[in-house]
Structure 1
Amino acid sequence: MTAIRIPNQRAVIDRRKLTAAIAEEVAATSAEKARPRVVELLREALANGRAELARRLQEKPSAGHECTHGHAFLMDQLIRVMHDHVVTHVYPAPNRSSGERLAIIAVGGYGRAEMAPHSDVDIGFVTPTKDTPWCEQVIEAMLYFLWDLSLKVGHSSRSLDDLIRMAKQDLTIRTALLEGRYLWGDQDVMEEASRRFWAEVVRGSEAQFVAEKLAERDARHKRMGDSRYVVEPNVKDGKGGLRDLQTLYWIGKYIHKVRNAAELVDVGLLTKSEYRAFRRAENFLLATRCHLHTITGRAEDRLTFDLQPQIAKAMHFADRTGKSAVERFMQFYFLQAKHVGHLTGVFLAQLDEQIASKRKARGLLAGFRAKPRNVRGYRVSGGRIAAPHDLWFQQDPVRLIEIFQIAEEDNLEVHPETMRMASRDAGLIKGKIRKDKRANDLFMKLLTGHNNPEVVLRWMNEAGVFGRFVPDFGKVNAQMQFDMYHHYTVDEHTIQAIGLLSRIEKGSLEQEHPLASEIIGTVSSRRVLYTATLLHDIAKGRGGDHSVLGAEVAMKLCPRLGLSAEETELVAWLVRHHLLMSATAFKRDLSDMKTIIDFVSQVQSLDRLRLLATLTIVDIRAVGPGIWNSWKGQLLSELFELSEERLRLGHKRRGRAERVAQRKAVVAELLGDKAYIIEALDDRFDDSYWIAEPEDVIAINLPHYYAAKEKQDKLSIHAEYYEARGATLVTVIGDDHPGLFYRIAGGIHLAGGNVIDARIHTTRVGKALDNFLVQDPLGRPFREEMQLDRLRVAIEDALGNKVELLPQLAKRPHPRARAETFEVRPRVFFDNMASERFTVIEVNAKDRPALLNRLARAMFEANLMVNSAHITHYGERAVDTFYVTDLLGGKLDTADRRKGVEQLLLEAASEQVEARQVEEVEDA
């Protein structure tokens, strides 16, 4: 490691001045009595140094190397001052023996001189032999000074023999020593430690070290989410983070004894341009980490939602049309992470080549090598495809598309040297190449490939070829959306969606996605489906409706890609309406025939329905882990089946009486020997109940209702795990009265549940039968008996006025504390055309505990009757939809009436009102 050079060092810390001040204090009294004052002087120097470095970071917010070197320099000087004070004043030993020698080594990140403001101080104390009493005293005194400064110290104290023995056994110790930097003390001891480390520990263990380091890296990636595009990345340990760059340096140093990253070029592991990319990425990531530490005042490496806007501001990112400052900052972050991924790939592959060339074949097959074959002019050997020479792509830039298409078709990897060439020559793709018919045919073959288009498109993206060939895709490269719903950047989400489509088509996801697996083979055009998946989010970040803008992109791009006018129109329609099916399934009442009529009027054909359903499924699934669940799958399947029936039969669909009779027959079959209950309760339930509820729910409801009627129970509450929807079905049977809905919702919230769907029924004799689908805040069902009991008791207490709902609900913590980072302005929409009988009210608001209870209470106060409620969550945003009438069963026809309801709902959804209620509860 080269010496740390810091501009205007004495402004950070003046070691001579500090040493003189300490000596003066000791001279005035004694070392022991002066100790408090010495600590004070050291603490003051540390605080002043940090303040100066923070000021410099503010002036140069992207100077990561300068900031981390500055903090390492500050710590170096303080440790040197401490050492000299201890050996001069505290434990002076003028005639030390050969064993009374001590070297201080900076290890780990501190050894590299990459120290963020609140990083651990990792140091090693090395002695020639077992610790002598004097060495132990000096080490202990220094550690106490470091602890007195409130520093987190990682330290070890070992003799030379112990150091070498333990380094052989432990990968962590070996890595720390690899970056060991002489700090202070006896330099001869340090040089002996270094000599023995390279001779006794490193020699002969290179291959083992590389294998262990890569295994360690893979385990770390898996722990951190295994994608460099997660929207709350760990700057240090996440995929594409600092640790990945450090791993390259460690391996290069272990194999080739490089002293710094620049020498990785000299040993052939990186090119000069790759080294520059290495330094740029490292500088930016270090700067980001320094800002994280400075803002939080602690060693924080997670780039969480609440910190992202602050760091974007600190690093001088500004808003632009369609993109906020934080989205621009995070896009730049992910571009750097992408560069790190590319560097890691070419580095490790190059290293593999170097190691392979040194190995000597043994035995009968010595000297045998598989003969490379030729595929369309490319060399293929060992499962890798390579360009035959350095000018290959420059002679014909269409080959930049061709090589990836061949790799997908023949299940090949692209050789690292060829990936380097592709990355270098990607800029050759200009207008003429984009319009080239051969290039576009090759791209479409790759996009719709039958092997693994996801992986190859990701390689193509990381080489920079994808964004050059499809510039609109390049615009969403590394782009994030600042919300808690989308887990990946837009490009990564799109590539994952294409991968899911390919896996569904191959039949490997039949269990998870039975509907898509069944219909994907019946669509009119694979090209349309894959192209629509590629383009569905292509216009995000431009300002305006990305569906409308994306359809415009599709109309221009599809003809270039070779799609016919009919195919182009179909792709544009799918992109324009790619959110239609999910919005209808999750936010509308599927038992209301008007919902199906309106949906079908937009879809218009069975082919469009199949294409849209498949696109919708892969789009939702590719949003991130935990977003897809069986409830969403069930709703989409239900909408598909109802729409398919109407499209097939048209207006000759089954009549209301026919549908009710058919459902009763299915329920009778499900009830078996209890089928008599249907006839016994025939005078209680009207046709709307039989049409609204699924047959299996009715088969659960009727026995409960019959038993309550026989026992003359005034209140009957049932809760059971409902596997078909991946939720808990809660049924409440009792006397109908105003406010029943909001009280039940409040009880469910008190028990820790979230209502995801609700249907409210009143029988002909004035009894209420209300069905709620409930999950916990993480989208899981309640299924343990203790959880189910808690639900029943909480609802009973809420209905019996045994608890004060408002104070209890106000005190409940938010399950997603980071949601406070986001601003969601409450909005209310009315639709009198979506249903023949009901006014549909949609409320958009920030998701938080008991939101449904507050909205339901507001509707009770507005004298509205709720027939059904449908609740959807998009990260921090909730969309609650209600089918309502007034007390006389009519729609909300007048503007004044709607205005009054809107005011009540906006107040209920307002965070300011909620905050005031919480304060009132706390004051009480």
Structure 2
Amino acid sequence: MQQVIDSIKSQAEQSLIPALRAAEDQTERAVLIKSFIKVEDRKIRDMHDAGAGGQRVAGARSAMLDAAIHAAFITTEERLSPKGKVKVAVTSVGGYGRGLLNPGSDIDLLFILPVNSTKIATLTKTLIQEILYLLWDTGFKVGHATRSISESIREAKAEQQSKTALMDTRYIAGNEAMVDKFITTFRRDCIQKNPEAFFELRRNDISSRHKKYSHTVFLQEPHVKESCGGLRDYQNIIWVANVERGTCNLEDLVKEKILTKGAYKELEAAYDFIHRVRNELHYHTGRSTDILTLQLQGVVATNFQYPEKSILRRCESFMRDYYRHTRAIFNHTNSLMEIFHIEIQENDKVSSWLKFIPKPQKKRSEHDGFVFRDGRIYPKHSDIFKNDSGRMMRVFQEAQRRNHTLAPIMRRLIKENISLVNEEFLFSKANRETFRAILERKGDVAHILRAMHKVQFLGKWMPEFGMLDCLVQHEFFHRYTADEHTLRCIDQLDALVEDQRPERSVYRDILMSFTDPYALYLALILHDTGRAENLREHTDGSAVMAARVCSRYKIKGARRSLMTFLVDHHLTFWKYATNKNLEDPEVIEEFAGIMKTTERLEALLLFTYADSNGTNEEAWSPWKESLMLQLYRSTRSFLTNGKNQYEAEQQEEMQKLKKVTKSILREKYHEQLDLHFERMPEQYFRYRAPESIAIHVRAVRRYLIKDEKAEPGFQSSDLRWINRDDRGYTELVVTTHNRPLLIEKVACALAASQINIIAANVYTRTDGITCDIFHVCTEDQLPVTNANTKKKVEDTFSELIQQEDYQPEKHLKKKRNFLQRDSSDGGIPFPVRAFVNNHASQQHTAIEVQALDRIGLLHDLFLEIGKSGLATVHARICTEKGAAVDTIYVNHLDGTKVTDQDEIQKLEYNIQKLVGFEHAE
């Protein structure tokens, strides 16, 4: 690195400075500096492209700018004041002050004056302005301040952000003695006088940032500077070490035995790696880009020459490295902050007691080689694990029982002795029993598993889980890595114990009454372990892993059966609820056949709740939850009462439903109600509230009146909007006579107003009147409440149903999906799928689609189905984060399934082509 810096300085001294001295005007000087920076920056970029470390590249760019500013300063000073030096100093602060300048970063300068800025001399002012103009002309974004030493100290005391920036003040040019004086004064007056306040400032900064980024490094699209484990975490600990230990070199903390050599090396390697990533982001985008998006992950992985053939595998390898490095910074810096905090607390206790008053005795106890003090667990001596490796498991049980955390020294000792978790340890009955006891404490498991994972114990104790470490999940809806997702699932399960919200009572009651929490928690830990196998269906691999763990842990009988069931079927509940027609009794019977018992049904509902909420914050919407609960309650009734009783109850419910609905309606609607029950298909009435049926009956009567009064040839309709705020959507009921392209025109009218369809049910009475029900929401996943939007939909639909020559293009303006892969930027392709499934329903053919969502996609699907001579009878629509996962049930116009293989292949081909499936040709 020093060689690169010396080369840059030499080039400036030999060519730039003489050229600046000979230049005739400011414009020529700006061209010379710009040319110097361009040449040197090209050399540095070549270093980066050749694989140079992040700090080396950023340091070289800082040295390049130092040389340019120094050259500009001395030549300008010589020209403006040939008889003597101007008493001013140029310093760098902030990131540039640390001597690391990424390609897109701004530069921050502080000009230190010998007098207050209000009394600045004309000559000094002119010199500063000329230097700034030269930098601006080269294209740099320059932040600057011009202050005296006393003014800078006052600013630092008044504004904490300024105080932090000034900690990295570094001399560049001018009066070096003033810079030394400023640094000494700043340290004395702003840091040493109140170090506790500064430490608290840094703690608050860390806490707020970590909260913003979900307290995890394992985000799908992390911010390389501000996210957990990013550059800011490393810089924070440097600032704190500077205040607490008077050093900016972490190697000094190794000498003081606060930091291990291994931890120091991990921190330095991680900091260098993230700088390299940031350099690449800035170089590629040409600006200060700090969010590592899905698209840019592919760019970085490719440019860093990860060897895997596919873009997905390259991204996985790169992001695994990225997460491991950021996790090292996250864990080590948090540990150092904790160590410093403990020291501050200890010092506070000592200083707060007068010498002549006896010091209070610390609350301290010992057990099994552990020392318990102030809510933390310490080792009695460094050989506790060597003497008894089982303590490695028992220390976590003690942490759980006493609600203690592991002291930094304990965490370090576990890592140092992790090799003791060997085959003998894994097959130890005592260790198994202790682990089982930990998992059986409902609501108190997740934080212990996180503590195990933090010190690498969990992955060693359960190698099947260890394979998930930092594993990127390219299923689009997952926000976290596989290991973090698993732990968040367990967070969700734990949280139910103290969650008193009425809407969570069904899950809380199941958990609290569940008799085998060990099986439930263990199945959650294992449910995604198959992802490490790179199988098409990860559930198969997970089931194999679960069987292996059951054998090692001697789990047999009913417990093993339950665990295997939960792992094998952890996606089944979700798939049935979101893809199948829950109003079809055969669907309920089929699902009940898989569940077999109410215990399994309840366990799988609980499992699905935890899994979905642990995937991302939007996965468990009110609409999706209503589907889950509908499936759960129907299946529970079927399992409890049997098929015959279930069907009998359905008929009985039908009669009750009609009676209650009639009581809601005024007498003038009763005749239409009787016709509605007589002419509507039976599945329409299943799980339909009497209030909804009453609304539909009124809609039919209103439509018939409109139709009777309409001009000949005019196609009448009635659109009714029903708010379902508690479920997160609005219900739109479209009543008219059935006609070709009807559902396509409804979809077109909705798409034209940027309204998403999340479910569609098409019902046609025997007299030809349709009662089509759409569950719709805004692009923000909220109910449709705007009156103007509703009016636009109604007007558009009224216009469309009059058209014999249907022309949707007038209303549908396709916009590019933000996920759309640009082949020029090396991004990750979205997994597009489309296929015809004749096994999903006994009555209908299912078309299953996963595609990039866009305005009008559902309309185009419906239109393609209509062109194929088929009718849409039911649809399950799921739109999330720019992706559509839909299941559309279709039949021939005579009500039969599509069975001809040629017809199926043609339908599948056309749908695949429509959604952009790459291999459709």
TM-score, with structure 2 as normaliser: 0.93
Change (3 A) 1:761 1:251: same
**Any idea what SS the aligned residue of 1:712 has?**
helix
Tell me by how many angstroms 1:651 deviates.
Answer: 2.6
State the Cα deviation string for residues 82-114 of structure 1 (Å, max 9, x = none). Answer: 11221123x234145xxx411111111111112
Q: 1:757 and 1:674, CA in 2 relative to 1: closer, same or farther beyond 3 A?
A: farther
Which digits, 9 at most, give the CA deviation of each residue in 1:684-706, with x for residues without a partner?
Answer: 42423223745553243222222
Residue 575 of structure 1 aligns with an amino acid whose one-letter code is: V
Out of 71, 87, 91, the residue aligned to residue 101 of structure 1 is 87
Distance 1:561 1:41, change over 3 A: same
The reply on whether 1:411 has 2:403 as its aligned counterpart is yes
Structure 2 counterparts to residues 822-833 of structure 1, below 5 A: 822-824=828-830, 826-833=832-839
Within 5 Å, give how 1:509-908 maps onto structure 2. Answer: 510-544=501-535, 545-652=537-644, 653-655=646-648, 657-668=651-662, 676=670, 678-679=673-674, 681-691=676-686, 693=688, 695-712=690-707, 714-801=716-803, 804-814=807-817, 821-824=827-830, 826-873=832-879, 875-908=881-914
Contact 1:126 1:157 in 2 (8 A): yes
**Which residue of structure 2 lines up, in the alignment, with residue 55 of structure 1?**
46
Q: Residue 435 in 1 paired to residue 427 in 2?
A: yes
1:77 aligns with 2:63: no
2:487 is aligned, of 478, 495, 501, to 495
Instruction: Please give the alpha-carbon distance, in whole angstroms, between the structure 1 residues aligned to 2:606 and 2:309.
Output: 34
Kindly tell me: are residues 321 and 40 of structure 1, through their superposed partners in 2, closer, same or farther at Cα, counting changes over 3 Å?
closer
Alignment partners' CA distance in 1, 2:358 and 2:121: 55
- What is the CA distance between 1:870 and its match in structure 2? 0.8
Aligned counterparts of 2:503 and 2:418: Cα–Cα separation in 1: 38
Task: Check if 1:479 corresponds to 2:471.
Answer: yes
CA contact (8 A) 2:832 2:917 kept: no
- Superposed CA offset, 1:260-297 (max 9, x none): 23223345542322211211111111111111111111
**Residues 586 and 872 in structure 1, CA contact (< 8 A), matched pair in contact too:** yes
Map 1:131-142 to 2 at 5 A: 131-142=120-131
Instruction: Name the CA shift for 1:819/1:742 in 2 (closer, same or farther; >3 Å).
Output: farther
Contact preservation (8 Å) 1:322, 1:541? no
TM superposition shift of 1:777? 2.7
Look up the equivalent residue of 2:510 and give its one-letter code. Answer: I
Is there any run of 5+ residues in structure 1 with no aligned partner, and where? 915-924
Given that 1:681 and 1:706 are in contact with CA atoms closer than 8 Å, whether structure 2 keeps it comes out as no
Partner of 2:345: 356
What is the CA–CA distance in structure 1 between the aligned matches of 2:310 and 2:401, rounded to whole Å? 40
In structure 1, C-alpha distance between the alignment counterparts of 2:870 and 2:167, rounded to whole Å: 72
Q: What is the CA-CA distance between 1:618 and the residue it aligns to?
A: 0.6
Amino acid in the other structure paired with 1:36: T
State the shift of 1:159 in Å. Answer: 0.8
Q: What are the within-5 Å matches in structure 2 for residues 168-179 of structure 1?
A: 168-179=157-168
State which drifts further: 703-712 or 824-833: 824-833
Matches of 2:529 and 2:665 in 1, distance apart?
50
Counterpart Cα distance in 1 of 2:560 and 2:9:
63
Q: Look up the match of 1:919.
A: none
Cα distance in 1 for partners of 2:397, 2:427 equals: 17
Call closer, same or farther: CA 1:798–1:133 in 2, change over 3 Å. Answer: farther
Report the CA distance shift for 1:317/1:668 in structure 2 as closer, same or farther (over 3 A).
farther
Give secondary structure in 2 for the equivalent of 1:139: helix
Structure 1 stretch 100-109 or stretch 711-720: which is displaced more? 711-720
Superposition deviation, residue 607 in structure 1: 1.5
Q: Is the 8 A contact 2:681 2:763 kept in 1?
A: no
CA distance in 2: counterparts of 1:858 and 1:531, whole angstroms: 46
Distance, in Å, in 2 between the alignment partners of 1:579 and 1:166 is 58
The equivalent of 1:918 in structure 2 is none
Q: 1:147 to 1:8 in 2, by over 3 A?
A: closer
Q: Does 1:164 align with 2:153?
A: yes
Answer whether contact 1:339 1:462 (CA < 8 A) is retained.
no
Between 393-402 and 315-324, report the one with greater CA deviation.
315-324
Equivalent pair of 2:834/2:917 in contact (CA under 8 Å): no
Is 1:126 matched with 2:112? yes
| Matches of 2:532 and 2:718, distance apart in 1 | 51
CA RMSD for the aligned pairs?
2.6
- In the TM superposition, residue 666 of structure 1 has moved relative to its aligned partner by 4.7
* The one of 228, 234, 243 aligned to 2:217: 228
Deviation at 1:160, TM superposition (A): 1.3
- Native 8 Å contact 2:662 2:673 kept in 1: yes
Alignment partners' CA distance in 1, 2:372 and 2:746? 67
- For residues 170 and 664 of structure 2, the distance between their equivalents in structure 1, rounded to whole angstroms, comes to 75
Q: Relative to 1, partners in 2 of residues 1:577 and 1:900: Cα closer, same or farther, differing over 3 Å? A: same
Q: Is the 8 A contact 1:12 1:53 kept in 2?
A: no
Deviations 1:766-788 (A, max 9, x none): 11211001122332222343443
Whether the 8 Å contact between 1:11 and 1:52 is mirrored in structure 2 is no
Pairwise CA distance, 1:253: 0.5
For residues 381-400 of structure 1, the aligned pairs below 5 Å read: 381-400=373-392
How far has the Cα of 1:186 moved from its partner? 0.7
Query: What is the match of residue 207 of structure 1?
Result: 196
Matches of 2:575 and 2:357, distance apart in 1: 63
Out of 16, 34, 57, the residue aligned to residue 67 of structure 1 is: 57
Unaligned runs of 5+ in 2: 709-715
Counterpart residue number, 1:111:
97
Amino acid at match of 1:727: Y
* 2:713 paired residue number: none
1:401 to 369, 377, 393: 393
Distance 1:13 1:237 in 2: 36
**Aligned-residue identity in percent:** 24
Secondary structure, aligned partner of 2:417: helix
Please identify, of 219-228 and 898-907, the stretch whose mean Cα deviation from structure 2 is larger.
219-228
Structure 1 residue 232: deviation in Å? 0.6
Q: In the alignment, what sits opposite 2:711?
A: none
In the alignment, the residues of structure 2 paired with residue 169 and residue 893 of structure 1 have an alpha-carbon distance, to the nearest angstrom, of 77
Deviations 1:554-588 (A, max 9, x none): 11102323422331232122111110110011011
Measured against aligned partners, the alpha-carbon deviations of 1:739-797 in whole angstroms (never above 9, x if no partner) come to 11111111111111111100011122211211001122332222343443344344334
- Secondary structure (helix, strand or coil) at the match of 2:782 reads coil
- Closer/same/farther in 2, CA of residues 863 and 693 from structure 1, 3 Å limit: farther
Contact 1:385 1:413 in 2 (8 A): yes
| Equivalent residues of 1:634, 1:724 under 8 A apart | no
Is residue 819–residue 830 contact of structure 2 (8 Å, CA) maintained in 1?
Answer: no
Give the alignment of 1:289-438 within 5 angstroms.
289-319=278-308, 324-359=313-348, 360-362=351-353, 367-438=359-430
Q: Distance in 1 between matches of 2:113 and 2:71?
A: 20
Q: Does structure 2 conserve the Cα–Cα contact (< 8 Å) formed by 1:25 and 1:37? A: no
Task: Specify the alignment match of 1:41 in structure 2.
Answer: 32
Query: Given residue 7 of structure 1, which amino acid in structure 2 is its aligned partner?
Result: V
